[in-house]
Amino acid sequence: MIRHPDHRDLTLLETRDVDALRAVREWMDDYLCRPLAELGRRGPVCPYTQASLDRGLAYLAVRPGRPADPGEVAEALRPYREWFIRLAPPGDTRSMHATIMVLFPDALEEDLPVIDAAQALLKPAYVADGLMIGEFHQGPPDKPGLWNPDLRPLASPVAMLVIRHMVATDFPFLREDRAQVRAYLDRFGHDVPAHLDGAVRAAIENAT
Protein backbone atom coordinates (compact mmCIF):
# COMPACT_ATOMS: atom_id res chain seq x y z
CA MET A 1 0.00 0.00 0.00
CA ILE A 2 1.25 3.46 -0.82
CA ARG A 3 -0.11 6.85 0.18
CA HIS A 4 -0.41 9.93 -1.98
CA PRO A 5 2.45 12.31 -1.04
CA ASP A 6 0.11 15.29 -0.64
CA HIS A 7 -3.22 13.65 0.22
CA ARG A 8 -2.49 11.17 2.99
CA ASP A 9 -6.05 9.89 2.98
CA LEU A 10 -5.56 8.53 -0.55
CA THR A 11 -4.00 5.09 -0.79
CA LEU A 12 -3.19 2.60 -3.53
CA LEU A 13 -3.07 -1.14 -3.05
CA GLU A 14 -0.13 -2.89 -4.66
CA THR A 15 -0.49 -6.30 -6.23
CA ARG A 16 1.14 -8.00 -3.23
CA ASP A 17 -1.41 -6.31 -0.96
CA VAL A 18 -4.24 -7.73 -3.04
CA ASP A 19 -2.58 -11.15 -2.96
CA ALA A 20 -2.32 -10.94 0.85
CA LEU A 21 -5.98 -9.99 1.20
CA ARG A 22 -7.04 -12.82 -1.08
CA ALA A 23 -4.89 -15.32 0.84
CA VAL A 24 -6.38 -14.23 4.16
CA ARG A 25 -9.95 -14.44 2.89
CA GLU A 26 -9.32 -17.97 1.59
CA TRP A 27 -7.75 -18.89 4.94
CA MET A 28 -10.83 -17.61 6.75
CA ASP A 29 -13.16 -19.61 4.52
CA ASP A 30 -11.12 -22.80 4.28
CA TYR A 31 -9.59 -22.93 7.77
CA LEU A 32 -11.23 -20.71 10.38
CA CYS A 33 -14.79 -21.46 9.29
CA ARG A 34 -14.35 -25.22 9.01
CA PRO A 35 -13.98 -28.07 11.52
CA LEU A 36 -10.55 -29.58 12.04
CA ALA A 37 -10.12 -33.13 13.35
CA GLU A 38 -6.91 -32.24 15.19
CA LEU A 39 -8.62 -29.43 17.05
CA GLY A 40 -9.96 -31.78 19.71
CA ARG A 41 -13.49 -30.40 19.79
CA ARG A 42 -16.49 -30.07 17.52
CA GLY A 43 -17.27 -27.06 15.42
CA PRO A 44 -15.16 -24.72 13.29
CA VAL A 45 -11.67 -23.64 14.26
CA CYS A 46 -13.03 -20.19 15.15
CA PRO A 47 -16.67 -20.16 16.29
CA TYR A 48 -17.12 -16.48 15.41
CA THR A 49 -15.55 -16.01 11.99
CA GLN A 50 -18.51 -17.13 9.87
CA ALA A 51 -20.89 -14.85 11.76
CA SER A 52 -18.42 -12.00 11.38
CA LEU A 53 -18.25 -12.56 7.62
CA ASP A 54 -22.00 -12.99 7.26
CA ARG A 55 -22.67 -9.72 9.07
CA GLY A 56 -20.02 -7.78 7.17
CA LEU A 57 -18.08 -7.10 10.37
CA ALA A 58 -14.68 -8.57 9.43
CA TYR A 59 -12.37 -5.71 8.48
CA LEU A 60 -8.87 -6.00 6.98
CA ALA A 61 -6.09 -3.42 7.08
CA VAL A 62 -2.66 -3.56 5.45
CA ARG A 63 0.49 -2.20 7.11
CA PRO A 64 3.28 -2.06 4.52
CA GLY A 65 6.94 -2.52 5.41
CA ARG A 66 8.73 -4.89 7.72
CA PRO A 67 7.87 -4.53 11.43
CA ALA A 68 10.98 -3.06 13.05
CA ASP A 69 10.33 -3.51 16.76
CA PRO A 70 7.44 -4.30 19.14
CA GLY A 71 7.02 -0.71 20.22
CA GLU A 72 6.65 0.49 16.66
CA VAL A 73 4.07 -2.18 15.92
CA ALA A 74 2.17 -1.37 19.10
CA GLU A 75 2.02 2.30 18.10
CA ALA A 76 0.85 1.32 14.61
CA LEU A 77 -2.07 -0.56 16.19
CA ARG A 78 -3.25 2.42 18.26
CA PRO A 79 -5.47 4.08 15.60
CA TYR A 80 -6.97 0.72 14.65
CA ARG A 81 -7.92 0.06 18.24
CA GLU A 82 -9.61 3.46 18.45
CA TRP A 83 -11.34 2.86 15.13
CA PHE A 84 -12.51 -0.57 16.27
CA ILE A 85 -14.30 0.94 19.28
CA ARG A 86 -16.13 3.32 16.95
CA LEU A 87 -17.10 0.55 14.55
CA ALA A 88 -18.04 -1.88 17.32
CA PRO A 89 -19.06 0.05 20.45
CA PRO A 90 -19.22 -1.98 23.66
CA GLY A 91 -22.72 -3.04 24.59
CA ASP A 92 -23.94 -3.35 21.02
CA THR A 93 -24.81 -7.01 20.41
CA ARG A 94 -23.50 -6.81 16.83
CA SER A 95 -20.14 -5.68 18.14
CA MET A 96 -19.35 -9.14 19.48
CA HIS A 97 -18.93 -10.33 15.89
CA ALA A 98 -16.67 -7.48 14.78
CA THR A 99 -12.95 -7.79 14.20
CA ILE A 100 -10.12 -5.82 12.63
CA MET A 101 -7.28 -7.87 11.17
CA VAL A 102 -4.15 -5.77 10.70
CA LEU A 103 -1.93 -7.49 8.13
CA PHE A 104 1.85 -7.20 7.83
CA PRO A 105 2.38 -8.76 4.39
CA ASP A 106 6.03 -7.68 4.15
CA ALA A 107 7.05 -9.45 7.38
CA LEU A 108 9.79 -12.03 6.86
CA GLU A 109 10.40 -15.11 8.96
CA GLU A 110 12.95 -13.29 11.10
CA ASP A 111 10.35 -10.56 11.80
CA LEU A 112 7.76 -12.89 13.30
CA PRO A 113 9.11 -12.62 16.89
CA VAL A 114 8.40 -8.89 16.62
CA ILE A 115 4.73 -9.67 15.97
CA ASP A 116 4.64 -12.02 18.96
CA ALA A 117 6.34 -9.47 21.22
CA ALA A 118 4.00 -6.69 20.10
CA GLN A 119 0.99 -8.85 20.98
CA ALA A 120 2.43 -9.54 24.44
CA LEU A 121 3.10 -5.82 24.91
CA LEU A 122 -0.42 -4.81 23.92
CA LYS A 123 -2.46 -7.54 25.56
CA PRO A 124 -2.61 -6.26 29.19
CA ALA A 125 -4.12 -2.91 28.25
CA TYR A 126 -6.47 -4.48 25.73
CA VAL A 127 -7.77 -7.02 28.24
CA ALA A 128 -8.22 -4.34 30.88
CA ASP A 129 -10.57 -2.58 28.44
CA GLY A 130 -12.48 -5.73 27.48
CA LEU A 131 -10.64 -6.31 24.21
CA MET A 132 -8.51 -9.12 22.86
CA ILE A 133 -5.46 -8.86 20.62
CA GLY A 134 -4.28 -12.04 18.91
CA GLU A 135 -1.21 -12.83 16.84
CA PHE A 136 -1.27 -15.03 13.74
CA HIS A 137 1.53 -15.72 11.31
CA GLN A 138 3.33 -18.27 9.21
CA GLY A 139 5.49 -19.38 12.17
CA PRO A 140 3.02 -20.36 13.59
CA PRO A 141 2.91 -18.64 17.03
CA ASP A 142 4.17 -21.03 19.67
CA LYS A 143 0.86 -21.35 21.51
CA PRO A 144 -0.80 -24.77 21.74
CA GLY A 145 -4.45 -25.45 21.07
CA LEU A 146 -6.75 -25.39 24.07
CA TRP A 147 -8.01 -28.90 23.39
CA ASN A 148 -4.96 -30.39 21.66
CA PRO A 149 -1.58 -29.20 22.98
CA ASP A 150 0.17 -30.69 19.95
CA LEU A 151 -1.71 -28.37 17.59
CA ARG A 152 -0.54 -24.84 16.80
CA PRO A 153 -3.84 -23.33 15.62
CA LEU A 154 -2.66 -19.74 15.13
CA ALA A 155 -0.91 -20.35 11.82
CA SER A 156 -1.95 -18.02 9.01
CA PRO A 157 -0.67 -17.25 5.50
CA VAL A 158 0.07 -13.61 6.38
CA ALA A 159 1.40 -12.17 9.63
CA MET A 160 -1.30 -10.22 11.44
CA LEU A 161 -2.61 -8.86 14.71
CA VAL A 162 -6.34 -9.21 15.27
CA ILE A 163 -8.54 -6.99 17.44
CA ARG A 164 -11.91 -8.09 18.80
CA HIS A 165 -14.06 -7.82 21.91
CA MET A 166 -13.46 -10.20 24.78
CA VAL A 167 -16.07 -12.94 25.24
CA ALA A 168 -16.84 -15.18 28.20
CA THR A 169 -15.08 -18.18 26.63
CA ASP A 170 -11.76 -16.29 26.47
CA PHE A 171 -10.75 -17.23 30.01
CA PRO A 172 -8.21 -19.92 28.96
CA PHE A 173 -6.25 -17.19 27.14
CA LEU A 174 -6.08 -15.09 30.32
CA ARG A 175 -5.69 -17.50 33.23
CA GLU A 176 -1.88 -17.25 33.50
CA ASP A 177 -1.97 -13.55 34.44
CA ARG A 178 -3.59 -12.35 37.66
CA ALA A 179 -4.43 -8.89 36.37
CA GLN A 180 -6.07 -10.37 33.29
CA VAL A 181 -8.00 -12.85 35.43
CA ARG A 182 -9.31 -9.94 37.49
CA ALA A 183 -10.30 -8.06 34.34
CA TYR A 184 -12.15 -11.15 33.13
CA LEU A 185 -13.97 -11.59 36.46
CA ASP A 186 -14.97 -7.92 36.53
CA ARG A 187 -16.64 -8.43 33.16
CA PHE A 188 -17.89 -12.03 33.25
CA GLY A 189 -17.76 -13.07 36.91
CA HIS A 190 -21.53 -13.65 36.97
CA ASP A 191 -21.69 -15.19 33.52
CA VAL A 192 -18.92 -17.80 33.43
CA PRO A 193 -19.65 -20.66 30.99
CA ALA A 194 -20.35 -23.90 32.84
CA HIS A 195 -17.42 -25.76 31.27
CA LEU A 196 -15.01 -23.08 32.56
CA ASP A 197 -16.39 -22.80 36.09
CA GLY A 198 -13.81 -25.11 37.64
CA ALA A 199 -10.86 -23.39 35.96
CA VAL A 200 -12.15 -19.97 36.99
CA ARG A 201 -12.61 -21.07 40.61
CA ALA A 202 -9.08 -22.49 40.67
CA ALA A 203 -7.69 -19.24 39.28
CA ILE A 204 -9.52 -17.24 41.95
CA GLU A 205 -8.10 -19.44 44.70
CA ASN A 206 -4.58 -19.10 43.33
CA ALA A 207 -4.94 -15.34 43.15
CA THR A 208 -5.96 -14.97 46.80
User: Tens digits of per-residue pLDDT, 104-152?
Assistant: 999 999 999 999 999 999 999 999 999 999 999 999 888 888 778 888 8
Find the length of the chain: 208
Q: Three-state DSSP class for 174?
A: coil
Look up the pTM and report it: 0.90
Task: Please tell me which residue, 69 or 1, carries the higher pLDDT value.
Answer: 69
Based on the fold, state whether residues 173 and 161 are members of the same structural domain: no
Based on the fold, state whether residues 162 and 173 are members of the same structural domain: no
CA distance 104 to 91: 30
What is the domain count for the chain?
Answer: 2
Based on the fold, state whether residues 136 and 61 are members of the same structural domain: yes
pLDDT in tens, 24-58: 999 999 999 999 888 888 899 999 999 999 999 99
Note down the domain range covering 90.
2-166
Based on the fold, state whether residues 86 and 177 are members of the same structural domain: no
Based on the fold, state whether residues 113 and 48 are members of the same structural domain: yes
Based on the fold, state whether residues 203 and 125 are members of the same structural domain: no
Task: Please tell me which residue, 82 or 5, carries the higher pLDDT value.
Answer: 82
Based on the fold, state whether residues 80 and 152 are members of the same structural domain: yes
